[in-house]
Structure 1
């Protein structure tokens, strides 16, 4: 096809700052800046809006406020997307319909079945393990029915190939170095005061909330070990707005806090902030002395790029996808199955912090991972798929 601007619909599963949602909005902004006509679609209950407004068009898909359970929530959101998209497709046409999650994938699969669209693109950031068969089925349908599958890491691309025979293409994540910087701002001190973060004491920051795949409970145990040598240390766990139900794990985490003698009220050493406004996040990174990401499973780990760009050392699990794109001295590595190893990595990151080394790592990674390059890669893959479709008799 020609090099004319593409009309692209990007579907995401939430209005909250999850990694896949951040990727969608950053990609949308970069595609928009490249001249494409982009519309972002996100489900929103009454009164909700996207945590960050992209420069392109946005369609908020009305959804229920309080579904009975996760299955009902997913089912109702799939139906909401189907109905909303059907109305949009009656008045406008898209060259590309691209979803970053299973909710959008199932909605688009249903529209394919009905003949409303010819195909769709799905990005698999990571796959979850569910105890509920219906959720597992929806997850599978969302990538198995896609006409083009993308992944943000080699780990998940190879997993899809070996487990499902799907030939996915790898695409890039990026980091906004204008937004994330080591340069202190007046907002940093104000945020510290508001959240009860002590300045001058080692601050361990974890983003993503309390979740099993984030390994938050084992990080808490590691933090308790760190306090033996750093008694003033503070753990800040931020974020956690998820569509999935993590309540059972959160209860176990709270029980462990009590067992270890921690509370989360100021001036106690553990702070659970919950979701924060988007404008607070750059300051939050700068308040940290180390960012901990001892995850058991990740799609990519955008937090690593953002932390390094903010001048903060990182502890990361020695697993893919981190090992795919990080050099040995970019981070302090940890075995995520061992609280003692995580504590050792935290001590190493704090004791060997080197601003120049972090800056070199951040510069190298930001040169490789940019949202502009990601948009160019996506546009090329979109056009190749369109050309292949048009060439078919």
Structure 2
């Protein structure tokens, strides 16, 4: 029998991502895929990695494309991954009506396959724009924004930037938060076990997520920790989750960690590197911590802030424009001046010293999270997919 026409069946959607690790774009991909599936959409996740490599199980079909080998430079790595993704998508070219890419690599690959005659429409969510330093990567990133049939963003800040810098009128579709996923009650024994594992004891335990890299404001965070240690008889402890990135930040990481001695910090005593953890462990650490700190200098939206708020943690964050779109200072978070060590240290100290504001942030944070659901995000995506298929010619 002939396959039903696109007008008589639900559109077939592929959500593509270059990674399997718990980075923001990958989290977005999996959460959106499951919400679309729950809404009755035929959705498949396509990721670069080995079978079973996704950081958590998902309730939708998953197709994996094997990544290439290792390469010396970022340019070589990016273009080899685009080639591998192109080859993998070419074998699926007739299976989808819409391919929705979450990153430059899969967007460039999907554009190649579409331009070679594949019948799908290409959608791209631009979470943020990287500060590449070579012209080849700058051009590659630019093309990954210009080539799709439709561009989406997750904040007004990035909508404005894409219009100003690329002439692209992108649609805003905010992220959601699966609040129940992050609300867990640890037994006193389990909470004590986790905290004792890193030597926190009764010290105020700050958690941050994203590893040590420039746009996470890691240098400023470590200097703020050093300032707090120098000024307070019982300074807070910082636990850092994450660190996997497609880009190589080893030099930056080594520079930051190498400055600990002159700052008076001790790795393993004042700052604990938990690296990449499972989804279950992540939720447990959010429940075991006392506060969440996120001094980023650039983000697409701030999904981990909302996840921390859903877990009941009070938040200290930088005051970048994208955070100010959904956070009100001293209502949802303590907002500190971006890149200002004194401001960050002061904000972190407030959370320790002012339990009344911590309690207010917790309650207001949970109320804020309640207004952002992946179900609503999926509904807006479905509307956009339908609009694309109805109004754009094949």
TM range (shorter): over 0.9
Q: For the Cα contact (< 8 Å) 1:15–1:48, is it kept in 2? A: no
Distance in 2 (CA, whole Å) between partners of 1:53 and 1:95 is 25
Distance in 1 (CA, whole Å) between partners of 2:88 and 2:101 is 15
- Name the structure 1 match of 2:55: 51
- The 5 Å alignment of 1:330-369 reads 330-354=332-356, 357-369=360-372
- Name the structure 2 match of 1:296: 297
- Name the structure 2 match of 1:78: 82
Distance in 2 (CA, whole Å) between partners of 1:226 and 1:211 is 21
Give the Å deviation of 1:141: 0.8
Deviates more, 1:224-233 or 1:22-31: 224-233
**TM-score, scaled relative to structure 1:** 0.93
State the SS of the aligned residue for 1:17. coil
Residue 62 (str. 1) matches residue 80 (str. 2): no
- Name the structure 2 match of 1:152: 154
- Name the structure 2 match of 1:175: 177
Distance in 2 (CA, whole Å) between partners of 1:231 and 1:3 is 66
Structure 2 runs not aligned, ≥5 long: 1-5
Q: How many residues of Structure 1 are paired with residues of Structure 2 in the alignment?
A: 385
Give the Å deviation of 1:365: 1.9
Q: For the Cα contact (< 8 Å) 1:191–1:280, is it kept in 2? A: no
Match of 1:19 among 16, 24, 29: 24
Distance in 1 (CA, whole Å) between partners of 2:23 and 2:107 is 18
After superposition, the C-alpha distances for 1:341-374 in whole angstroms (9 at most, x for unaligned) are: 0000001122234465234323332232111111
Distance in 2 (CA, whole Å) between partners of 1:76 and 1:135 is 13
- Name the structure 2 match of 1:218: 220
Distance in 2 (CA, whole Å) between partners of 1:102 and 1:353 is 43
- The 5 Å alignment of 1:1-393 reads 4-44=9-49, 46=50, 49-89=53-93, 92-181=94-183, 183-185=185-187, 187-194=190-197, 196-227=198-229, 228-265=231-268, 268-328=269-329, 329-354=331-356, 357-390=360-393
**TM-score, scaled relative to structure 2:** 0.93
State the SS of the aligned residue for 1:120. strand
Distance 1:273 1:385, change over 3 A: same
Give the Å deviation of 1:187: 4.5
Distance in 2 (CA, whole Å) between partners of 1:308 and 1:118 is 38
Distance in 2 (CA, whole Å) between partners of 1:5 and 1:187 is 46
Distance in 1 (CA, whole Å) between partners of 2:226 and 2:109 is 45
RMSD, aligned CA: 1.9
